[in-house]
DNA sequence: AATCAAAATTGTAATGATTACAATTTTACA
DNA sequence: TGTAAAATTGTAATCATTACAATTTTGATT
């Protein structure tokens, strides 16, 4: 933490530790709630500030795969992300040679410093529900579509 | 438009047309402002509703490359996106074989229905400023970092 | 150990994009 | 032309995030 130029305060250590212990890409609220018990005086502003600081220092990844809440990832190794459209969970996706290949596809003159691959679909746990969900959704869509 | 199950109202045609004429990935506000002159009664709610409808029907792409505003793209062919960290402009990036390759990298059991590759960096126009900007930024960062 | 300035933390208020919703207008068909 | 459904509109509410001022903590110095 010090090698990042981040003074390791009680709160900062706890927040970074929470991210490392919970690699499920938690939201700001999740981090705050998860630490409120052990640090009752913790302020949500501190969580916001610290996460932003850690992102700026390159210790943490910021994910915008969710329209609503930003998510954070202490795993900064090259990988993609997957969000289940049913349960909302976010998972890691291994990126083989693709991870680096994509940066090479550069139109003349652009400088790419970072990239993120976001995938969406249905996770393992939700897949069984998909059949039903798709049918229900399709039915509703069809009904709406006929007149829309 | 009808083949999508979308009733082609004046507003919907105008919004879809605006997106097709302005492939710079406009925000909701940009669409609304761009059409306000020709359709003075246009409501921003209608822009929100219509864009969401077009996305659901697969006629338009929703981009979450920007933390603040959602952006929309009438170009639904396979390509990636690039956002300049200085001027904020969003550009298309060609995706050769990479575009399809990434979908194949699937952990057992996941169903991927859509994917987006977001890149960030410095665009052609801003690159000359980067040298200066980086120096200035580096100086500020260094000063902050020393004590942070 | 006491002092003091800088940095970190906290809590509250403001911001701003998006959504909810009720009212009005338009559309399409009998 | 009448009428019900759908589309549009405008306003109010929501909610994540940011701004900011006040308080607390830290670390160096005496």
Q: Which residues in A118-137 are b (16+ Cβ under 10 Å) and which e?
A: bbbbbbeebbeebeeeeeee
Higher pLDDT, A132 or B40: B40
Q: Min CA distance, A28 vs chain B (Å)?
A: 15
Domain A1-76 has CATH 1.10.579.10: no
Minimum-distance nucleotide, CA of B45 to C1': D9
Q: What is the DSSP letter of A141?
A: H
> Would you state the pLDDT for residue A131?
58
Minimum-distance nucleotide, CA of A69 to C1': D16
> Would you state the pLDDT for residue B144?
32
| Cβ <8 Å between A114 and B119 | yes
Least confident of A83-87, B29-33, B111-115: B111-115
Considering only CB atoms, A114 lies closest to which of B116, B120, B147, namely: B120
Minimum-distance nucleotide, CA of A146 to C1': D6
**pLDDT above 80: residue B60:** yes
**A129 pLDDT tier (thresholds 50, 70, 90):** low
**pLDDT above 70: residue A85:** yes
H or E, element range at A32: helix A28-36
Task: Identify protein residues whose C-beta is within 7 angstroms of any atom in strand C.
Answer: A 7, 9-12, 39, 41-46, 49-50, 67; B 7, 9-10, 27-29, 44-45, 48, 52, 68-70, 147-148
**A18 pLDDT tier (thresholds 50, 70, 90):** very high
pLDDT in tens, B120-138: 988 888 877 665 555 444 4
| Cβ <8 Å between B5 and A112 | no
**A132 pLDDT tier (thresholds 50, 70, 90):** low
Mean pLDDT of A121-126: 87
| Cβ <8 Å between A118 and B120 | no
pLDDT in tens, B78-96: 888 999 999 999 999 887 5
> Would you state the pLDDT for residue B5?
87
Q: Min CA distance, A56 vs chain B (Å)?
A: 10
pTM of the model: 0.85
Fold adopted by B2-123: Arc Repressor Mutant, subunit A (1.10.10)
Q: Classify strands A90-94 and B90-94 as parallel, antiparallel or unpaired.
A: unpaired
Q: For residue A106, which residues of chain B lie inside 8 Å, CB to CB?
A: 93
> Would you state the pLDDT for residue B137?
41
**% pLDDT > 90, chain B:** 55
Chain C: bases < 7 Å from a protein Cβ: 6-12, 16-21, 27-28
**A140 pLDDT tier (thresholds 50, 70, 90):** very low
**A62 pLDDT tier (thresholds 50, 70, 90):** very high
Least confident of B43-52, B65-74, B114-123: B114-123
**pLDDT above 80: residue B7:** yes
DSSP B2-56: GGGT----HHHHHHHHHHHH--S--BHHHHHHHHHTT-TT--HHHHHHHHHHHHH
Cβ–Cβ < 8 Å for A86, A126: yes
Residues 6+ apart with CB under 8 A from B112: A82, A119, A120, A121, B103, B106
> Would you state the pLDDT for residue A106?
58
Mean pLDDT of B27-37: 97
Q: For residue B64, which residues of chain A lie inside 8 Å, CB to CB?
A: 64-65, 67, 118
Please state the length of chain B: 148
User: Is the minimum distance from the CB of A142 to strand D below 7 Å?
Assistant: no
Q: Classify strands A71-73 and A61-63 as parallel, antiparallel or unpaired.
A: antiparallel
* Rounded CA–C1' distance between B46 and D8, in angstroms: 7
Residues 31-90 of B with CB under 7 A from strand D: 39, 41-46, 49-50, 67
């Amino acid at each position: 933490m010090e090698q990042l130029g981040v003074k390791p305060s009680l709160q900062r250590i706890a927040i970074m530790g929470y991210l490392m212990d919970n690699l499920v890409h938690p939201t700001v609220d999740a981090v705050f709630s998860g630490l409120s018990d052990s640090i009752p005086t913790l302020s949500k502003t501190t969580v916001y500030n610290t996460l932003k600081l850690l992102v700026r220092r390159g210790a943490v990844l910021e994910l915008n795969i969710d329209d609503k809440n930003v998510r954070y990832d202490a795993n900064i190794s090259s990988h993609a992300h997957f969000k289940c459209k049913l349960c909302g969970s976010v998972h890691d996706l291994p990126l083989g040679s693709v991870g680096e290949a994509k940066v090479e596809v550069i139109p003349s003159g652009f400088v790419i410093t970072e990239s993120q691959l976001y995938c969406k679909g249905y996770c393992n746990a939700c897949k069984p529900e998909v059949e039903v969900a798709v049918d229900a959704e399709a039915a509703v869509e069809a009904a709406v579509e006929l007149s829309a």
